[in-house]
Amino acid sequence: MRPSGRSASQVRPITITRHFTAHAEGSVLVEFGDTKVICTASVEESVPRWLKGKGQGWVTAEYGMLPRATHSRNRREAASGKQGGRTLEIQRLIARSLRAAVDLEVLGEQMITVDCDVIQADGGTRTASITGAMVALTDAIQVMMEKGLLKKNPLKTTIAAVSVGIYQGTPVCDLDYAEDSSAETDMNVIMNREGKIIEIQGTAEGEAFSTEELMAMLSLAKDGIAEIINIQQAALES
């Protein structure tokens, strides 16, 4: 029995609120149950120096948490003078995943930065961030099309993410904090709408896991992501 009473394959209620803040080209509040992340996509008509003159664009991401998004207050990274290893790892993952959805040559010498800021955390902040970031990115690209900054849509596919894991011996989908903090295995899966894998990261927190367990988790992830992509699509059409 999961602490939330959900079935093993059941994802939390997911809501995606577009146009959440006023200034960004794409701005989304994504909620996976009690996990809430603001994702904004910002367009810049130039690229980082190392890409200048190469005829392609760039998509990058940054991740942060408000100090009291969690049960006890964490030190503000701006005050401690650097982003921690976990933060860097997550923002690298978000950026890599988003780039898998974009044809950077079609984007041209322009850059899109997606900021994912967690305002409330209850497990799965990185998968919620990726899911929301994809919608914010889509909106920003739409704005670029309307402004004439793009002649052709650079999106090759759409992506979404979900966490899966083994909790008390059973594979489950979309772990919340209560599950995540005591799961034997925790795995984040990012897939595209064709059901192919963009990234998979699985860690044995307690017990090492078998290939069969991996397969069971992957199967749950596939179904969960398909459902999440439908929710993304519905939000974009609303």
CB 154 within 8 A of CB 107: yes
158 is an interface residue for a copy of itself by CB under 8 A: no
19 is an interface residue for a copy of itself by CB under 8 A: no
Q: Is 233 helix (H, G, I), strand (E, B) or coil?
A: helix
Residue type, 111: M
Q: Is 165 helix (H, G, I), strand (E, B) or coil?
A: strand
Tell the residue number behind the tokens 């690229």, with chain if given. Answer: 47
User: What whole-number distance in Å separates Cα of residue 234 and Cα of residue 171?
Assistant: 28
How many Cα atoms are found within 13 Å in the side-chain-facing hemisphere of 171?
A: 19
Identity of the residue, 20 or 236, whose beta carbon is nearer to a copy of itself in the bound complex: 20
Provide the mask over 211-230, with x wherever binding to a copy of itself is found by CB under 8 A and - wherever it is not: x--xx--x---x--------
Among 4, 9, 17, 120, binds a copy of itself (CB under 8 A): 120
Q: Which residues are annotated as a binding site for phosphate?
A: 86, 124-126
15 is an interface residue for a copy of itself by CB under 8 A: no
Backbone angles phi, psi at 233, to 5 degrees: -60, -45
204 is an interface residue for a copy of itself by CB under 8 A: yes
21 is an interface residue for a copy of itself by CB under 8 A: yes
Options 45-53, 102-110, 144-152, 202-210: segment touching a copy of itself (CB under 8 A): 202-210
Find the helix packing angle between 211-237 and 125-146, rounded to 10°.
Answer: 40
Sign of CA dihedral 162, 113, 148, 143: positive
CB 215 within 8 A of CB 166: no
Residue 1 token pair: 């029995």
* Segment 76 to 95, residues that bind a copy of itself, using CB under 8 A: 76-79, 81-89, 91-92
100: Cβ–Cβ under 8 A, 6 or more apart, which residues? Answer: 157, 159, 190, 192, 198, 199
CB count in 10 Å sphere of residue 30: 29
How many Cα atoms are found within 13 Å in the side-chain-facing hemisphere of 19?
A: 5
Provide the mask over 32-51, with x wherever binding to a copy of itself is found by CB under 8 A and - wherever it is not: --x-x-x-x-x-x-------
In the complex, the smallest distance separating the C-beta of residue 228 from a copy of itself, rounded to whole angstroms, is 16
In the complex, the smallest distance separating the C-beta of residue 103 from a copy of itself, rounded to whole angstroms, is 12
Identity of the residue, 24 or 47, whose beta carbon is nearer to a copy of itself in the bound complex: 24
237 is an interface residue for a copy of itself by CB under 8 A: no
Which residue ranges make up the site for a copy of itself (CB under 8 A)? Answer: 21-24, 27, 34, 36, 38, 40, 42, 44, 62, 64, 66-73, 76-79, 81-89, 91-92, 96, 100, 113, 115, 117, 119-120, 122, 157, 187, 191-192, 194, 196-204, 207-211, 214-215, 218, 222
